[in-house]
C-alpha cells in the first residue's frame, strides 16, 4: 500500500518539486521573522512587515510572499510528532536552533523570579539539545554506533576530522554527508552562540511586545540575517561576508539533521540490508509492547516491514501529502492522473483511501482497477403492469423512465428501499433505527448490503451486490409494507403504490444485474399474471349454466399470486380508520401454505358482509386457493415474492361501481375505471 502510494506520489514530486511544503498548512499562531544580526530595538520598527498572524482562513494575498516564506520554513522546522520533540521538556516544539515554537501560554508566562522567566529555562534546555554533539548522538543511535570521538570531532570545524566517527564514515557517500559536514561547522556553532546571546539580551523585550498582540495558539520565531530572505543568498549576498551557507541551505540541513535520525518509528528495528540501512517506517505503523503480536513472532523478519532511509523519507512526504487531503471521506486517487501534470490517456486504476482526521489513521484503502467515472444506464420496466392516470383521468401503464447515471441510481435505491438513508458517501454510515420509519431490521439490511451498493455505485462493479440484491431488497419491501408508515401515504385506504413502484424498480435492477431483459422471476410474474387474467376472463365470458371445462389454478406461482390478490382485496374492505400495511401482517405470519389459507379464510369471514354473493371471480379465486395444494411452502422466498407481486398488482376483484371508500379511483387506486 505505502509502496503503491509513494510510487504515485513520486510522479507528483517530479512535476511539482515544491509540493511538499506547498501542501503544508502552518498551524494557527503568530509567525515572526527576526534578524539575528540586529537587536530587538533595532528591528522593532519593521516588526509589522516581519510578522504575520496565521489563522485557519486563507492568508492575505498581499502578503503571499511572506506567507510562503513562513510556510516553507515552518515545514522544515516542524516536529515529526510530539514524541519526537527535540526539547526533552516538550515545551518548545521546533526542531532546530534557528526557530522557536512555543504555545502562547508558555511563551507569555509570567516571570518566575527576578530576572528569570520560564522561557529562558526552556530555551537553555532546548538549545543545549541542538548542539552538534547531541545531534550527533541521535545519528549514532540510528546506525547503532557506539559513542566515539564524535564529540571531539564536532568541536573542530575542519573537514578533515569530519569522517572520524563511524556515523560520518557511514554516511560519507550519501546525500546526507553535506548536512553532517554542516553540523560540525564553525558557522553553525557561531550561530547558536549568537542566538543564545540574542535571547539573553532581547527576549524579555520581545515577550513584552508580543503580549500586546491578540492571536491564538503558537508563537513561532524564525531567525535569519538576510535582508531579503525570500531570495537566495547568491542574488543578495548576505551581509555577513564570511557566511559559507545560505539561510535556506541551513534550514534545509537542519531539517535533515533532525528528521533523518527520527525518521524510523523506532531505531530498535534498524538493520543493514545489502549495505543499506533499513528500519521500521513511522506512518500508520506502530510497535506497542502491550500488543506483542504487532511484531511477527515466528518469522525471521520480526518487524513487519523495513524501508531504507530514502524510502522512509518519501513515505513521510507522501503521507503528509495524503494527510493534506480531505478527511472523513473516500478519496479517489488515479495511479497517474491525480499526481502528474501529464495526464495522458492511459489505462489506470485508482486508490481509494479513507483517512480518519483525528489520529490520521488510514481506515480504508483499496486498489481499484476500474475507471474513476462510473457509467450506468438502466431502463426501469413496469414488470407488474402497474397502471396510473394522467390529469384527465385517463389510465395508462406507468412509465418509470431510465436511470442514466449513478447519482440517479443511488437516489432511486435510497428512496425505494432505504427511506432516503443512503446518501452521499455512505460506506461509513450507521443509520439509527426509528420506529415506523426505519426499523432495526432495515438498519441491519443497510449494514449488510452497504458495501455491495457502494461497490456498484462508486466503483462500477456489481460483483458484490449481485448475490445479495434480490434477498435484501425483498426483505426491505416486506419490512416497509408491515412496519413503516410512509409520509404522504393515504391512510384512509390501503395504499401500496409506493411499494409496487419499489417492486418494479427491484425487478428492473435485478434484471440489469443479471444482464438480461427480465429476470427469471420477472418472466414468471408476467406469465402468471397473464395466465390468471386469461382464466378470469374465460370465467367472466362464460354464460351461466354453460357446461364447459372447469378452470383451475395449476402452479404454485399462480396459487401464491392469487392469494396475494385475495389478501389485498379482502383487507381493503376493512373499516379501520387508518388502513396501513400492518393490516396484512397476519398473512406474513404464516409459514406454511395451510396457514396462509387459514388467514385468508379468516379475512373472508371478517369482511364477508361486504361481499356480493355472485362475485364470480372472487368466488372462483377463493375456491381455487382452498383447493390447491402447493409443493412450496409460504416461507420460501419465491412464494413470498409471488404473494407480494399479487398484493402490489392491480386488483382484479373490484367490480364496476364498487369503490374503495372514500377514494373515487378504481382498483387499488390506480387501476382501470370500473
Partner 1 sequence: MQALCFELSGETAFFKKPDVNVYAYFTYSHIHKVALYGLLGAVLGLGGYTQQYERNMALGGKAKQDNPAMPYPEFYEVFRHASVSIVPHGDRGYFSKKIQIFNNTVGYASQEEGGVLNVREQWLERPRWTIYVADDGGVDREVFDRLADYVQHSKAEYIPYLGKNDHPATISKARLVELEPASEPEYIDSLRAAHVLVDRGGYVKDDQMQSYLQEYLPVGLNTANNGYILEPLVFSNQEIDTDELKAEDLQKIYRDADNDRTLYFI
Between CA 453 and CA 461, with CA 456 as vertex, the angle to 5 degrees is 140
Q: Cβ 176 to partner 1, closest distance in Å?
A: 22
When the beta carbons of 344 and 546 are compared against partner 1, the nearer one is 344
Q: Does 292 bind partner 1 (CB under 8 A)?
A: yes
Rounded Cα distance between 573 and 569, Å, is 7
When the beta carbons of 304 and 531 are compared against partner 1, the nearer one is 304
Do residues 352 and 330 lie in contact, with contact meaning Cβ atoms separated by under 8 Å? yes
Residue 54's alpha-carbon distances to 67, 229, 240, 324, 581, in angstroms, are 8, 19, 31, 17, 60
Cβ atoms within 10 Å of 439's Cβ, excluding its own: 19
When the beta carbons of 375 and 656 are compared against partner 1, the nearer one is 375
Q: Which of 20, 150, 284, 410 binds partner 1 (CB under 8 A)?
A: 284
Q: Cβ 322 to partner 1, closest distance in Å?
A: 12
Q: Does 370 bind partner 1 (CB under 8 A)?
A: yes
- Greatest Cα pair distance, the chain, in angstroms, is 124
Q: Does 431 bind partner 1 (CB under 8 A)?
A: no
Q: Cβ 490 to partner 1, closest distance in Å?
A: 41
Rounded Cα distance between 369 and 338, Å, is 15
Size of the site for partner 1 (CB under 8 A): 57
Q: Which of 54, 462, 470, 499 binds partner 1 (CB under 8 A)?
A: 462
Q: Which of 26, 29, 97, 281 binds partner 1 (CB under 8 A)?
A: 281
Q: Does 471 bind partner 1 (CB under 8 A)?
A: no
Q: Does 290 bind partner 1 (CB under 8 A)?
A: yes
Which string of x and - marks every residue 436-455 that binds partner 1 (by CB under 8 A)? ---------------xx--x
One-character DSSP codes across 480-498:
HHHH---TT--SSS---HH
Q: Does 338 bind partner 1 (CB under 8 A)?
A: no
Q: Cβ 1 to partner 1, closest distance in Å?
A: 5
Q: Does 357 bind partner 1 (CB under 8 A)?
A: no
Inter-axis angle of helices 186-211 and 118-129, nearest 10: 160
Q: Do β-strands 29-35 and 51-54 pair in parallel, antiparallel, or remain unpaired?
A: antiparallel
Burial class (CB in 10 A: 0-12, 13-18, 19+), 545: exposed
Q: Does 408 bind partner 1 (CB under 8 A)?
A: no
Site for partner 1 in 105-164 (CB under 8 A): none
Do residues 210 and 50 lie in contact, with contact meaning Cβ atoms separated by under 8 Å? no
* Residues sharing a CB contact under 8 Å with residue 310, sequence separation 6 or more, in sequence order: none
Do residues 320 and 22 lie in contact, with contact meaning Cβ atoms separated by under 8 Å? no
In three-state secondary structure terms, 360 is coil
Q: Cβ 622 to partner 1, closest distance in Å?
A: 46
When the beta carbons of 311 and 557 are compared against partner 1, the nearer one is 311
Q: Does 385 bind partner 1 (CB under 8 A)?
A: no
Q: Which of 285, 395, 539, 551 binds partner 1 (CB under 8 A)?
A: 285
HSE, CB side, 13 Å, CA atoms: give it for residue 670: 21
Q: What length does the chain have?
A: 674
Q: Does 672 bind partner 1 (CB under 8 A)?
A: no
Residues that bind partner 1 (CB under 8 A): 1-4, 7, 271-274, 281, 283-286, 289-294, 296, 298-302, 304-306, 335, 344-349, 356, 359, 361-371, 451-452, 455, 460-464
Amino acid at each position: 500500500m505505502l509502496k503503491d502510494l509513494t510510487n504515485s506520489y513520486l510522479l507528483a514530486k517530479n512535476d511539482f518539486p515544491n509540493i511538499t511544503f506547498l501542501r503544508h498548512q502552518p498551524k494557527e499562531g503568530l509567525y515572526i521573522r527576526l534578524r539575528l544580526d540586529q537587536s530587538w530595538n533595532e528591528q522593532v520598527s519593521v516588526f509589522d512587515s516581519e510578522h504575520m498572524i496565521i489563522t485557519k482562513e486563507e492568508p492575505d494575498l498581499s502578503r503571499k510572499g511572506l506567507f510562503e516564506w513562513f510556510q516553507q520554513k515552518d515545514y522544515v522546522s516542524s516536529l515529526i510528532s510530539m514524541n519526537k520533540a527535540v526539547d526533552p521538556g516538550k515545551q518548545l516544539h521546533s526542531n532546530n536552533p534557528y526557530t522557536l515554537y512555543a504555545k502562547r501560554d508558555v511563551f507569555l508566562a509570567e516571570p518566575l523570579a527576578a530576572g528569570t522567566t520560564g522561557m529562558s529555562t526552556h530555551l537553555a534546555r532546548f538549545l543545549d539539545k541542538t548542539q552538534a554533539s547531541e545531534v550527533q548522538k541521535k545519528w549514532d543511535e540510528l546506525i547503532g554506533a557506539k559513542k566515539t570521538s564524535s564529540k571531539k570531532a564536532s568541536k573542530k570545524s575542519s573537514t578533515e576530522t569530519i569522517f572520524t566517527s563511524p556515523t560520518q564514515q557511514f554516511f560519507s557517500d550519501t546525500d546526507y554527508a553535506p548536512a553532517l559536514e554542516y553540523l560540525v561547522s564553525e558557522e553553525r556553532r557561531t550561530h547558536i552562540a549568537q542566538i543564545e546571546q540574542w535571547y539573553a539580551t532581547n527576549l524579555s523585550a520581545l515577550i513584552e511586545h508580543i503580549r500586546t498582540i491578540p492571536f491564538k495558539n503558537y508563537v513561532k520565531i524564525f531567525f535569519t540575517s538576510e535582508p531579503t530572505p525570500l531570495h537566495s543568498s547568491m542574488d543578495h549576498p548576505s551581509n555577513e561576508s564570511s557566511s559559507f551557507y545560505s539561510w535556506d541551505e541551513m534550514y534545509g540541513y537542519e531539517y535533515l539533521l533532525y528528521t533523518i535520525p527520527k525518521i524510523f518509528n523506532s531505531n530498535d528495528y534498524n538493520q543493514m540490508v545489502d549495505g543499506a540501512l533499513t528500519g521500521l517506517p513511522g506512518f500508520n505503523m506502530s510497535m506497542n509492547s502491550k500488543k506483542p503480536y504487532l511484531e511477527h513472532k515466528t518469522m525471521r523478519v520480526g518487524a513487519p516491514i523495513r524501508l531504507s532511509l530514502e524510502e522512509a523519507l518519501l513515505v513521510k512526504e507522501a503521507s503528509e501529502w495524503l494527510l493534506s487531503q480531505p478527511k472523513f471521506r473516500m478519496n479517489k486517487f488515479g495511479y497517474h492522473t491525480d499526481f502528474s501534470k501529464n495526464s495522458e490517456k492511459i489505462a489506470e486504476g485508482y486508490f481509494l483511501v479513507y483517512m480518519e482526521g483525528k489520529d490520521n489513521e488510514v481506515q480504508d484503502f483499496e486498489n481499484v482497477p476500474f475507471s474513476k467515472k462510473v457509467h450506468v444506464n438502466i431502463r426501469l420496466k413496469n414488470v407488474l403492469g402497474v397502471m396510473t392516470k394522467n390529469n384527465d383521468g385517463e389510465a395508462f401503464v406507468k412509465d418509470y423512465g431510465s436511470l442514466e447515471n449513478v447519482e440517479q441510481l443511488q437516489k432511486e435505491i435510497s428512496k425505494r428501499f432505504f427511506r432516503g438513508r443512503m446518501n452521499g458517501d455512505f460506506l461509513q454510515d450507521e443509520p439509527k433505527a426509528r420506529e415506523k420509519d426505519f426499523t432495526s431490521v432495515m438498519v441491519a439490511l443497510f449494514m449488510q448490503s452497504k458495501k455491495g451498493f457502494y461497490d456498484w455505485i462508486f466503483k462500477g462493479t456489481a460483483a458484490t451486490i449481485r448475490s445479495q440484491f434480490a434477498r435484501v431488497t425483498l426483505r426491505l419491501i416486506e419490512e416497509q409494507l408491515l412496519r413503516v408508515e410512509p409520509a404522504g401515504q393515504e391512510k384512509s385506504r390501503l395504499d401500496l403504490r409506493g411499494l409496487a413502484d419499489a417492486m418494479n424498480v427491484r425487478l428492473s435492477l435485478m434484471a440489469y444485474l443479471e444482464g438480461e431483459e427480465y429476470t427469471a422471476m420477472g418472466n414468471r410474474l408476467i406469465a402468471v399474471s397473464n395466465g390468471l387474467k386469461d382464466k378470469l376472463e374465460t370465467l367472466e365470458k362464460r354464460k351461466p349454466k354453460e357446461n364447459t371445462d372447469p378452470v383451475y389454478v395449476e402452479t404454485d406461482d399462480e396459487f401464491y399470486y392469487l392469494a396475494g390478490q385475495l389478501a389485498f382485496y379482502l383487507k381493503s374492505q376493512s373499516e379501520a380508520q387508518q388502513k396501513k400495511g400492518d393490516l396484512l401482517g397476519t398473512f406474513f405470519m404464516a409459514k406454511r401454505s395451510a396457514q396462509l389459507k387459514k388467514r385468508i379464510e379468516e379475512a373472508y369471514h371478517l369482511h364477508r358482509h361486504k361481499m356480493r354473493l355472485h362475485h364470480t371471480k372472487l368466488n372462483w379465486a377463493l375456491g381455487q386457493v382452498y383447493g390447491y395444494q402447493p409443493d412450496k411452502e409460504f416461507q420460501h422466498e419465491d412464494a413470498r415474492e409471488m404473494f407480494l407481486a399479487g398484493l402490489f398488482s392491480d386488483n382484479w376483484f373490484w367490480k364496476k361501481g364498487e369503490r374503495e371508500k372514500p377514494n373515487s379511483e378504481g382498483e387499488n387506486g390506480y387501476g382501470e375505471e370500473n
